[in-house]
Structure 1
Amino acid sequence: MSRARVRFALPVLLLSLSVLTGCAGRAPEQAPSSSATSGFPVRVDVPGGAPLTLDHQPGRIISLSPTSTETLFAIGAGKQVVAVDDQSTYPQAAPHTTLSGLTPNVEAIAAYKPDLVVASADTGNLVAGLGKLRIQTLVLPSAKTLDDAYGQMTALGKATGQADSSTKLVTGLKDELGKLAAGTPKPATPLTYYHELSQDYYSANSKTFVGQVYGLFGLANVADSAPSPSGYPQLSAEAVVKADPKLVFLADTKCCAQDPAVAAKRPGWVAISAVKTGNVVALDDDVASRWGPRLLDFAKVVAAAVTKAAAPSGS
């Protein structure tokens, strides 16, 4: 299976990981709360997942989810993390390992002596396997919406004793996203866009967390006409050309070496408005695919693209 298909065929079929390396703005680790150990035992409710009750603050955490890894460090729980999986490429300060979240090995995980493992799916009966070793697992499935994303940040805050920091993170993200959207021009006729996840034309419709970010800027998604219970439909090359999007966002630049110049050479793409006007945008795969603290970085790229596309010709 190709790397692109792993990234977003998995979101289609219960995404357990969402893409790799990230180079956009760094989410600084916040100082741990002085009351970090208070509030335990605590019940952690998970959007779209099963709740978990933790008797004490975990001091040895393993993250098998790239999004969760980013969030853990953003809320000040980085010092509690002893290992992260091979897909967790951000931040650089994370203790990177060869552990796999796609094919988790219970024995290899247990060797790090964790008291909490964070995963994005119960792959290979991970929860039961670790449970036999008295290791608790917090499963945070792929976020379907922005509210799910915020809920997972909150859940990680409660689970790690960093509730105050996670609340500040969520509040800050919501405020900054709101300000960014309010300050971005919205044409009377919504600009159409195509968000590409892979070269075989997998995309994300408006019901996904990705689509909801674009929705903040009043954009119209050409993928919404394609039926998809998962929210991640596969379009055809002909359908994309026929839709003639005013904006194209490529979220397969790292995995698949796509960029505006390469995309422009595809059959029929020379006639697409986004290509003709220079509004094909290369995204950082990771930043555009993870539902963690770098959502704002993704939104800033979208805002800049919308501002450019909405500007009068020649301005």
Structure 2
Amino acid sequence: MKRSYASLLLCTMVLLASCGKSAPLPAFDVPEERVEGADATVLPERIIVIGPHLTECVFALGAGGRVVGVDTFSDYPPATRDLPKVGAYIDADLETITILEPDLLIVAGKPGHIMEFAALRSIPVLSIHMDSLATINEGLVQLGEALGCPEHGEALRAEIQSELNAVRELIAGQLRPKVLIVTGRPQHNLNTIFTVGGKSFVSELIQAAGGDNIYQDAPEAYFEASKEDLVIKAPEVIVEFHAGEQLSEKKQARFIADWDRLPSLPAVQNKRIHLVTESHTLRPGPRVKELVWHFTRLLHP
């Protein structure tokens, strides 16, 4: 079965906190930028980015012209599609990375195999973790500083905040539906339903868009929910992600029909089940300012 970036992203988000220790990198005292093994006085000119959301960030900051390679799933902006591909987060093509001779690797978290590889070859690494609105903003600012365009990082952060404020003002005083966020499940099966808690940026966007995540208070960011618990929590809207999947109308109808197995859910009774297929909808990055409006339209038509 072909792996989608959405499924890899979900796995990666769960695993990031448990990444193994990596070999020590050359000392570089710029903790706020998290660049390891670099000369702070020299701007990178040959950048490799591993993570579609990070690729979007680098291009949004105006540094796309310095990118010489990206991961397999990077497809936005369109200019990324012609760049050399270096595998993905969990199976990076280290040989291709070596051939491209980068002077900076930008990665999510600190994947052990990539960090050890970079240490052995003295390749500087910028480690960025984005999985909340706060860390998205922080990451954009850090990237801007590391790439020599701090004003662009601050501008993107301000744009995101401005859009969030505009949405909150628009929906002020409106009823907030209870929302189930589904980040993954098999077709014809409600026995395995992956969802998110309040620590995820997806939940934060749903909250900002005027909904209440039924698992807002869950301690985990990503986890599996049971059908029995869904019946108790009774979501009024279901937002189900199939990011990057090409679903025909017939297949979308089948995914929605699966929920008829839980007829007591208000979302099922009122036909408020939405499939979200756009590839960037599970990517934390600059386009969250568009996503929050998309979710607002779903929750408050």
Using structure 1 for the length normalisation, give the TM-score.
0.79
| 1:289 counterpart residue number | 282
| 1:115 counterpart residue number | 103
Q: Deviations over 1:184-232 (max 9, x none)?
A: 25435x310011100131111112211111222342212246x543x11
Q: C-alpha separation between the residues in 2 aligned to 1:284 and 1:185?
A: 28
Q: Deviations over 1:101-127 (max 9, x none)?
A: 221233320211111010113324322
Q: How many residues align?
A: 277
Q: Deviations over 1:244-266 (max 9, x none)?
A: 21111111254495736522333
* Superposed counterparts of 1:295-306, under 5 Å: 295-306=288-299
* 1:293 counterpart SS class: coil
Q: C-alpha separation between the residues in 2 aligned to 1:102 and 1:295?
A: 24
Q: Which residue among 196, 199, 216 is the counterpart of 1:204?
A: 196
* Superposed counterparts of 1:106-185, under 5 Å: 106-141=94-129, 143-185=130-172
In structure 2, give the amino acid aligned to 1:259.
Q
Aligned sequence identity (%) = 21
Shift of 1:72: 0.6
Q: C-alpha separation between the residues in 2 aligned to 1:177 and 1:170?
A: 11
- Contact 1:198/1:251, CA 8 A, preserved across alignment: yes
* 1:98 counterpart SS class: coil
* Superposed counterparts of 1:234-273, under 5 Å: 234-252=224-242, 254-255=244-245, 257=247, 259=252, 261-273=254-266
Q: C-alpha separation between the residues in 2 aligned to 1:61 and 1:70?
A: 13
In structure 1, give the amino acid aligned to 2:300.
T
Q: Work out whether 1:220 is the aligned partner of 2:212.
A: yes
Q: Work out whether 1:80 is the aligned partner of 2:82.
A: no
Shift of 1:98: 3.3
* 1:262 counterpart SS class: helix
Q: C-alpha separation between the residues in 2 aligned to 1:98 and 1:60?
A: 14
Q: Which residue among 56, 64, 79 is the counterpart of 1:93?
A: 79
- Contact 1:264/1:275, CA 8 A, preserved across alignment: no
Q: C-alpha separation between the residues in 1 aligned to 2:100 and 2:108?
A: 19
- Contact 1:86/1:96, CA 8 A, preserved across alignment: no
- Contact 2:263/2:269, CA 8 A, preserved across alignment: yes
In structure 2, give the amino acid aligned to 1:299.
V
- Contact 1:8/1:202, CA 8 A, preserved across alignment: no
* 2:195 counterpart SS class: coil
Shift of 1:158: 0.8
Residues 107 and 265 of structure 1, relative CA distance in 2, 3 Å threshold: closer
What runs of 5+ residues in structure 2 fail to find an aligned partner?
19-27, 186-191
What runs of 5+ residues in structure 1 fail to find an aligned partner?
17-40, 309-315
Q: Deviations over 1:5-34 (max 9, x none)?
A: 433132122289xxxxxxxxxxxxxxxxxx
- Contact 1:130/1:136, CA 8 A, preserved across alignment: yes
Q: Identify which range, 212-221 or 250-259, moves more after superposition.
A: 250-259
Q: Deviations over 1:11-63 (max 9, x none)?
A: 122289xxxxxxxxxxxxxxxxxxxxxxxx993625xxx45453311111000
Residues 295 and 7 of structure 1, relative CA distance in 2, 3 Å threshold: same
